[in-house]
């Protein structure tokens, strides 16, 4: 009897000291880390974001229809050839796109069309909801150089300007981000990144995006042939 008691005590002592492996608690499998909202937004929207290359400049844009309509800023393609080159998100595929038209009355938007019949392209949706101050924002584009294509930055809506036509936000954008999408938590486009104060020397978090409502109206008119054939923005 004493032998059994001693054996039991010895086993307990060794186990408490971390030596025995007889009664180790099985390892609990770790739950995989869930994708963050930013990751989900990027995964959803990025395939539809393109780098736009002209003769002497580049910018960003995004595909809004499976048949190849693309939105960007007018200042990205102003003075460029009627046919520009789009670099797809995979970094390998280059596709030509025709200029359809520009925004009227100084609206800094342009519509392009990829002419590849029968081919379906990844798209991103224009948001139908109203953005509010404090909402999360996500910007995707090609800042500074094509080597940085499809870069994601995050921030919040800082203010709503000009009767809701412009969204002020602080997601980092720089030269080359122009024309790229500003997105919400659902990966929908709430605006087109157009202006970043101080972005030529380093962004300071004061940025403006043309709201999705203006974009939707412009696309509707442009597809009906009611856009301007020339850029109407100031130099």
Do 105 and 144 fall within a single domain? Answer: no
Token digits of residue 115: 């002419």
Residue 231 belongs to some domain of the structure: no
3-state secondary structure 153-193: EEEEEEEEEHHHCEEEECCCCCCCCCCCEEECCCCCEEEEE
Q: What is the rounded distance in angstroms from the CA atom of residue 42 to the CA atom of residue 53? A: 22
Q: Please report the pLDDT score of residue 31 as a whole number.
A: 54
Mark whether 147 and 205 lie in a shared domain: yes
User: What is the total count of domains within the chain?
Assistant: 2
Let me know if residue 30 belongs to a domain. no
On whether both 86 and 143 belong to a single domain, the answer is no
In a domain, residue 228? The reply is no
In the prediction, which pLDDT does 115 show? 87
Are 112 and 155 part of one and the same domain? no
Give the model's pLDDT for residue 201: 61
The reply to whether 13 falls in a domain is: no
- Together in a domain, 106 and 152: no
Same domain, 42 and 87: yes
Please give the pLDDT value at position 13. Answer: 40
Whether 11 maps to a domain, the answer reads: no
Identify whether residues 104 and 148 lie together within a single domain: no
Q: CA–CA separation, 120 vs 195, rounded Å? A: 31
Question: pLDDT tens, 12-62?
Answer: 443 334 434 444 445 555 555 557 999 999 999 999 999 999 776 789 999
Residues identified as active-site: 75, 108, 178
Q: Residue 52 and residue 77: Cα distance in Å, rounded?
A: 8
State whether 101 and 154 are in the same domain: no
Can you give the pLDDT at residue 54? Answer: 79
Ranges in the chain, pLDDT < 70: 1-34, 56, 198-203, 235
For residue 84, the domain's CATH number is 2.40.10.10
- Distance between first and last Cα of the chain: 99
Judge whether 15 lies within some domain.
no
Whether residue 118 is found in the same domain as residue 194: no
Q: Which domain holds residue 164?
A: 136-212
118: left (phi over 0), alpha (psi -120 to 50) or beta: left
Both 58 and 86 in a single domain?
yes
Q: Could you count the other beta carbons within 10 Å of the beta carbon of residue 93? A: 10
Beta strands in the chain (DSSP E): 49-53, 58-63, 69-72, 83-87, 94-102, 110-114, 136-141, 151-161, 166-169, 181-183, 189-196, 207-211
Same domain for 47 and 88? yes
Q: What is the pLDDT of residue 8?
A: 44
User: Would you say how long the chain is, in residues?
Assistant: 235
Residue 185 lies in a domain: yes
Q: With respect to residue 21, please indicate whether it lies within any of the assigned structural domains.
A: no
Examine the domain organization and report whether 97 and 174 are in the same domain.
Answer: no
Can you give the pLDDT at residue 36? 93
């Amino acid at each position: 009897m004493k032998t059994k008691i001693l054996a039991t005590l010895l086993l307990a002592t060794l186990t408490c000291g971390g030596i025995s492996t007889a009664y180790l608690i099985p390892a609990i499998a770790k739950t995989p880390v869930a994708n963050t909202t930013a990751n989900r937004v990027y995964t959803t929207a990025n395939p539809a974001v393109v780098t736009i290359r002209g003769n002497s400049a580049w910018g960003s844009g995004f595909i809004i229809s499976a048949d190849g309509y693309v939105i960007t800023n007018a200042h990205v393609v102003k003075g460029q050839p009627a046919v520009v080159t789009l670099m797809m998100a995979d970094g390998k595929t280059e596709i030509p796109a025709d200029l359809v038209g520009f925004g009227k009355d100084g609206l800094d938007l342009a519509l392009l069309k990829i002419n590849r019949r029968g081919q379906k392209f990844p798209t991103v949706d224009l948001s139908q909801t109203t953005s509010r101050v404090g909402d999360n924002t996500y910007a995707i584009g090609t800042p500074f150089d094509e080597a940085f294509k499809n870069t994601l930055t995050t921030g919040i809506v800082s203010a709503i300007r000009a009767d809701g036509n412009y969204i002020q936000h602080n997601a980092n954008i720089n030269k080359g981000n122009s024309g790229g999408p500003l997105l919400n938590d659902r990966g929908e486009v709430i605006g087109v990144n157009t202006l970043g104060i101080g972005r030529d020397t380093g962004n300071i978090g004061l940025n403006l995006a043309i709201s999705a409502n203006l974009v939707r109206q412009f696309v509707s008119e442009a597809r009906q042939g009611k856009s301007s054939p020339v850029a109407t923005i100031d130099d």
